[in-house]
Amino acid sequence: MNDTARSLPMRDGVAIPQMGLGVMYVPEGTLPALMREAVRLGYRHFDTATVYGNEAEVGEGLRSLDVGRDEVFVTTKLQDGMHGYDNALRAFDASEKLIGSIDLYLIHWPQPAKDLYAESWRALVRLQEEGRVRSIGVANFTPDLIDRIVGETGVSPVINQVELHPRFQQRGTRAYNAANGILTQAWSPLEHGLILKNEAVAEIAARLGRSPAQVVLRWHLQNGLVVIPKAAETRHLADNYAAWDFELSDADMASISSLDRNQSSFDLDPMTYESERGRIES
């Protein structure tokens, strides 16, 4: 990675750029150009998933960049229908073929009713042992679910990617992650755009001469969270990356932190969510 100041170290020794580009719902055919523009602006991290259906475009985009493959960090995720040891290995093979190489592989949703997530985790551990992937982690896992996979394998995820924004701050999961050396990564860091209309956020943004998105992303960065805002529009891409260029005072941080409602804005419960039934197809 070329900019260690903008990366966070994970417990396995790999550094992850703290702000990445989430590429869910980026219109088909536009992703390689969007990735090139992102890299021009400073991004070095892309977050995709098999279920987003764009791993081939991510691979195409990576091959078209001006920077070397080792300069960028790429995450993809095990799709929900592929839980279990053998299935997870097969799913990884397919993603690797499309993307080229993968830095971080996550279990996308635990789907505890299937009771296969621990088997899937064993497969991810093997992939890392074999050097096929640099880092392995989970998404949408509660502390209890993480305790189980660590108990069964002795291997801890380096990251837990969860829904996280000012109205759903995941304080309990964050505290557990921090106590166990797991980085917390925020998906939908802008609450899918909803938080940008919040009055307190708008007031801070107007006072500082910043956009609401920059204020919210700056709050994430100052909280030590890894963020992956999605932006299909290039003006949003640039706006978001400029969250690196200013600071929020303790009072403004506290004012945003006071917005917590401690519940998902999308009615997504990791204990019951199956993507087939969810409102966000991710």
Ligand X SMILES: NC(=O)c1ccc[n+]([C@@H]2O[C@H](COP(=O)([O-])OP(=O)(O)OC[C@H]3O[C@@H](n4cnc5c(N)ncnc54)[C@H](OP(=O)(O)O)[C@@H]3O)[C@@H](O)[C@H]2O)c1
Residues designated catalytic: 52
Out of 41, 196, 200, 202, the residue judged to bind ligand X by CB under 6 A:
196
Q: Is 23 in the site for ligand X (CB under 6 A)?
A: yes
Q: Is 74 in the site for ligand X (CB under 6 A)?
A: no
d(C-alpha 264, C-alpha 29), whole Å: 31
CB atoms within 10 A of CB 139: 24
Pair 102, 74: CB distance under 8 Å: yes
Q: Is 111 in the site for ligand X (CB under 6 A)?
A: no
Q: Is 80 in the site for ligand X (CB under 6 A)?
A: no
Q: Is 140 in the site for ligand X (CB under 6 A)?
A: yes
Q: Given 3-state DSSP classes, what are the helix, strand and coil percentages for the chain, each rounded to the nearest 5? A: 50, 15, 35
d(C-alpha 206, C-alpha 47), whole Å: 30
Where helices occur in the chain by DSSP H, the ranges are 31-41, 55-63, 85-99, 117-129, 143-153, 171-179, 199-208, 212-222, 234-241, 250-257
Q: Which residues contact 55 (CB under 8 A, 6 or more apart)?
A: 48, 76, 95, 98, 99
Out of 161, 170, 173, 184, the residue judged to bind ligand X by CB under 6 A:
161
Pair 123, 129: CB distance under 8 Å: no
Nearer to ligand X, 123 or 231 (CB): 231
Shortest spacing between CB 146 and ligand X, in angstroms: 15
Tell me the window of 96-104, 128-136, 142-150, 185-193 that interacts with ligand X (CB under 6 A): 185-193
Q: Is 167 in the site for ligand X (CB under 6 A)?
A: no
Query: Nearest-CA neighbor of 240 among 32, 37, 31?
Result: 37
Out of 211, 215, 225, 256, the residue judged to bind ligand X by CB under 6 A:
211
Tell me the window of 20-28, 64-72, 90-98, 120-128 that interacts with ligand X (CB under 6 A): 20-28
Q: How many chain residues bind ligand X (CB under 6 A)?
A: 29
Q: Is 57 in the site for ligand X (CB under 6 A)?
A: no
Out of 76, 95, 188, 198, the residue judged to bind ligand X by CB under 6 A:
188
Chain residues in the site for ligand X (CB under 6 A)? 22-24, 47, 108, 139-140, 161, 187-193, 196, 211, 213, 228-233, 236, 239-240, 280, 282
